[in-house]
A and B are shown apart, each in its own frame.
Chain A
Amino acid sequence: MSEGFQPRILAFLCNWCSYAGADLCGVSRYQYPPTIRIVRVMCSTRLDPVHLLEVIRAGADGVLVGGCHPGDCHYISGNYYTENKVHATQRLLERAGLERKRLRLEWVSASEGERFSKVVTEFTNEVTALGPNPVSKSEEIQAALQAAIDAASSQRLRTLVGREYMITEVADVYGKKMPKEAIELAIDQAAEDEFYRNRIIRRILTEPKSVKQIAQEIKVPSDKVLQYIISLRGENRIGDAGHAGMSPLYIALQAGGE
C-alpha cells in the first residue's frame, strides 16, 4: 500500500509464555518495529472472539495473539481453546470482508526472545502489505463487523467453538470423538448463519424493510434472506411491520446475538 504506512498492531500476550518471551526479547535487546502495543492477559484463552473483533473494529490494522506452545499452557489446555477461537474469529473476519491474516496466532515460549522479535517483524511486514484497516473509511465494513461481533456473541457459535476441543480431542457425552472436519463444517455453517442473521437484524432495527430491500442492501440472494427471516421470526426476534405494496415488511424486536 502507501509508502510510509506503519500499521498499528495490538498484541494480546499470555502472562506465562509470550509476555515473558517479549520480556526476554527486550532483555536480549532484539529490536523490532514499534508497531505493536501489548496487552497482558493471564492466559490467551481469556480472549473472547468478541474482544478480537472489537479491536479490529476500533481500527487496529492487525491483532496478534500470543500463547504458550501446545502442551505447555500454564493452565494446561487453555491454548487449545485459543486456537479454536482464533480460527472462528478469522472466519468471521472474512465474512466481514477483511483479511483473515490481520489476526495472527503465535506460540512464543518464555525462552524464545529472539523469535518474538521475528514474529513481530514478520507480522508487521505482512500487515503493511495488507495496508491500513479499511474499517474507519467504510460504513459497510463497520456494519459487517458489527454483525460479526453479534455472531461471535451468539449462543450457537460460542457453544460449538467452546466445545470443539472436548468433542474432537477428548470425547462427547456419548464417549465418542467427532472428526475435526465435521465440527469445522458445523462451525463454518454457524458462523455464516449467525453473521447473516445479525446482518439482517441490524438493517431493520429502526426502519421496517422487505426481504428484497434487505437482500439488496446486504448483497445476499433474496431466497436466503427469506430463510433467515423465517427462522428469526420463529424465534421472535423480528416481527411483522405491515406491507409495502405486495411485500411484507419486517422489523427487529431485539438487537444483538443474545
Chain B
Amino acid sequence: MPEEQNGQAPQGPPAESVEGQKGESDVPRIGVFVCHCGTNIGGYVDVPTVVEYVKTIPNVVHAEHNRYTCADDGLRAIKDGIENYKLNRVVVASCTPRTHAPLFQSVCESAGLNKYLFTFVNIREHCSWVHMNDKEAATAKAKDLIRAGVARAGLLQPQKEQRIPVIPVAVIIGGGISGMTAALSLANQGFPVHLVEKEAELGGFIRNLSNLWMESGDPKTSVEPTIKKVLEHPKITTHLGSTVKLVDGHIGSFRITVDKGGKDEVVEAGVIIVAIGAEEFIPESMYGYEQFDNVVTLAELEILTKTDAFPKNLKDVAFIQCVGARGQVQSYCSRICCNVALKNAIYLSDRINEALIKKGAEAAKDALQAQEGQGAHPSVRIDVSKETVADELIKRRRSRRDRDKATEPGAPPSAPSADQRANITIFNRTVNAYGVHHEVYYNRAREKRIKFVKYDLENPPRVTSEEGRLVVHYYQQSLGEWRALKVDMVILATPLVAAGSTEQISKVLKVPRGRDGFFLEAHVKLRPVEFATEGIYLCGTCRAPADITESVLQANAAASRAAIPLKRGYVQVEALTSNVDAEKCVGCGTCECVCPYGAIEVKQTPQGFKAQVNVAACKGCGCCASVCPQRAIFMTHYSDQQILSEALAALMDTCQGVSQ
C-alpha cells in the first residue's frame, strides 16, 4: 500500500480540498488524445468537433486528435504532450482498455507519468461502431463519454504496485501433443512442470491417428519419442489418470488440487497452461451414421487405417465434408477436416489401387490358366452410364500422360483401367486446402482422380442403402439434378468440438468460453495463447480446431509466454485494493463475510476489533466497500467519488465533483 493512501480520508473529500492538501502542483492538467482509428471512429464521429468541445472542459489543458493514437506518431504525441504541456493526467479516447490500456499506460510511464494517472475512454466499440447510422448522436455521445473520463482523470491518484513472488513451477492440464510440447519447452528451460492427464496414457487425440502427414507416416516415429521424452524428463512430473479439481490463488502462487483417481494431491505453481484438446463431433443420426455399416467418421477411419480393419473389397468411397459444421449444428469451420480428408483420400486411393492391381494381375493369371476371364472385382458397379463417355476421354488423356510419366521412378507399372481403380469422391462445400503444403496435396488428389463434387446447405447429400450397398444421393449442381452413387464406404468429416471437460475446467479456473464452447483467449490476434486472467495460458485444440503443426506452434508460444513470469520471479499486481479507515471501522465483520478471497479479516488491535486487508490477496472487486455498514472502506483507483463523478459527468454537462 503506498504511503499517501493512508493519509487520505477514505471516503475522499471533494476534489477542491484534495487539491488544497496536495498543493498547487497537483492541480489536474489533463491532456486528451482522441483517436480517429482511421475511419473506424472518424467515419462515424465528428472527431475535430469533439476535440474542440473537449478543450472547453475544466482542467483540460491540451486536446488533440490523432489518426491512430496507438501508432508510433500517436504515442509520440502523448509523450510530447506530457512534456510540452506538463500534463499530469492523460485521457485517450479510442478503442477498448481491454486490449490497449497497457500500451498507453507504458507510454505514460516512459514519459514519467504514473500509469494510474491514465484514463481510457472507449468511443469505438461503445460508440462509433454501434451508432454507425447516426453521426450526430455518436458525436454527442463521444463528448459525454470523454467528459466522464476527464472527470475521473481529475480525481486519480498515483499508485505503487505490489510485487509478489512467483513459484517457478508450471502446471499443464492435458497431455496431448500441445500439453507435452509446452511441458518439454518449459522443462528444458529448467522449470519444474506438472503435467496432468485424465487418461491413463499420454498422447491425447493423435494416439488415434494412423499417419500424421503424407510422407512422415507413422506416428510412432514422431509422437512416441515425444511421449518418451516427457516421461523420462527429470523436471516433468506426470499425473496420469488425474483431473484438476480445484484451483485457487493467483498468478505467482496457484494451489491446484489434482484428483488422482480419488486421491487428492495439492500442487503449488506460478502459472497454468490449459491444453485439454478437443473431441470429434459425433454425427448422431446424420448421413446414415450408426444406421448403416461402413458409415464412419474421419477419426474412426484413422483407427480403421491404423488397425487395418477396412471392409473387404473396398473400391468405391465417398467422403462427405462439413458434416455438422459450418451451419449444420456447429457454426464454425473446423479447419483441419479438408486436409485430413485429402490425406486419407490419397492414402485410400493408393492402397485400393495397389490391391486392385495385384488382384487384377492374379485374375489375369487365373484367366489365362482357366481360359476364362472374370470381372476384376465383384463389386464394380458404377451404374452412372454417362461416365463411360468421360472415361473414354480420360483414357485418351491418360495414355498421353502415362507416356510422359513412363520414366518417372515409382510410377505404376501399368495404368489400371477405370473399373480397376479406386473411385473416391469427396462431397464438399468448398475445399479449404489452405497454405503451401495443402494445396500440393489437393493437386496430388486431383492427379489421383479423386473427384470433388460440390454440395450446398440447401441440398446436402443423403445416404441410403440399396441391395446391401451404400448409395449417396447428391445434387449435381452443374446438371441441376439429383444423382446416385453406389459406394462401399462413406466417411463423414466432422468438426472438432470443445472437449466435455472444457466446462468444468472453465469453472475451476474461472476462465471464459466462447459461443462455440472453446476457450476464449484474451485477444484473438494480440494475445492468442493467454487468458485475460493473468498467469493462465492456453494452446492447442481447446482454443479452436487446429492441426498438429498449429498446436505445436501454439504450445511453444504459450510456454514462452508462461516462462516470462517464471523467469522474472515476481509479478506486479495492480494497485486495485481495498483500504479500511480504522477510525470508522466498528469491526462488524460484514466485509470478512463477503470477501471471496479471505483477503480482509477482522483483527484485534489496541483500538478494538478492526478489519485489515491483505493486499497481496485482495483482487479489488470492491464487494467489501459496497456493503460496509459504516462505509469505512475505500477502494484504490475505484473510489466512490471516482465512480460517481464519472457517472454524473456522463449524464450532465458539467465536470463538478460529487457533493454528498
> Which A residues are within 8 Å of any B CB, using their own CB?
8, 10, 12, 15-17, 19-20, 22-27, 29-32, 34, 37-43, 45-51, 54-55, 58-60, 71-78, 81, 85, 109-111, 117, 153-156, 158-159, 161-163, 165-166, 258
Contacts and interface: CB of A to CB of B under 8 A. Distances in A.
B266 interface: no
A26 B660 CA distance: 35
A166 B624 CA distance: 13
Contacts of B206: none
B139 to A, nearest CB: 10
Contact of A58 (B594, B627, B631, B651): B651
Interface in B457-473: none
Contacts of B625: 46, 48
A41 B628 contact: no
Nearest to B141: A34
A154 B127 CA distance: 38
A126 to B, nearest CB: 18
Given A77-B594, A159-B629, A162-B628, 12 more contacts: A8-B651, A34-B127, A45-B626, A54-B658, A59-B651, A72-B512, A75-B623, A78-B621, A78-B623, A158-B629, A163-B593, A166-B594
Contacts of A78: 596, 621, 623
Select the residue from B141, B512, B623, B652 with max chain A CB neighbours within 10 A.
B623
Nearest to A32: B130
Interface in B199-240: none
Contacts of B122: 23, 38
Interface in B239-264: none
Contact of A258 (B130, B594, B596, B631): B631
A156 B507 CA distance: 35
Nearest to B97: A40
B643 A31 contact: no
B276 interface: no
Contacts of B643: 12, 39, 41, 46-47, 51
Given A37-B650, A41-B622, A55-B647, A22 B515 contact: no
Contacts of B660: 54
A193 B593 CA distance: 25
B125 interface: yes
B138 interface: yes
A17 B593 CA distance: 24
B644 interface: yes
Contacts of A156: 629
Top 5 closest pairs, chain A to chain B, by CB = A26-B125, A162-B627, A46-B622, A37-B650, A75-B621
A23 B648 contact: no
Nearest to B646: A39
B493 interface: no
Nearest to B574: A42
Given A39-B646, A74-B510, A46 B651 contact: no
A55 B648 CA distance: 6
B129 interface: yes
A17 B532 CA distance: 11
Interface string B104-136: 000000000000000000101111011111100
Nearest to B628: A158
Interface in B87-114: 96-98
B535 interface: no
A42 B638 contact: yes
A73 B620 CA distance: 13
B125 A159 contact: no
Interface in B406-450: none
Nearest to B586: A155
B138 A26 contact: no
A159 B132 contact: no
30 contacts: A25-B125, A26-B125, A26-B126, A26-B129, A27-B129, A29-B129, A29-B132, A31-B130, A32-B131, A34-B134, A34-B140, A37-B141, A38-B122, A39-B643, A42-B576, A43-B621, A43-B622, A45-B626, A46-B622, A47-B626, A51-B647, A59-B651, A73-B510, A77-B623, A81-B623, A109-B512, A111-B515, A111-B520, A162-B594, A163-B593
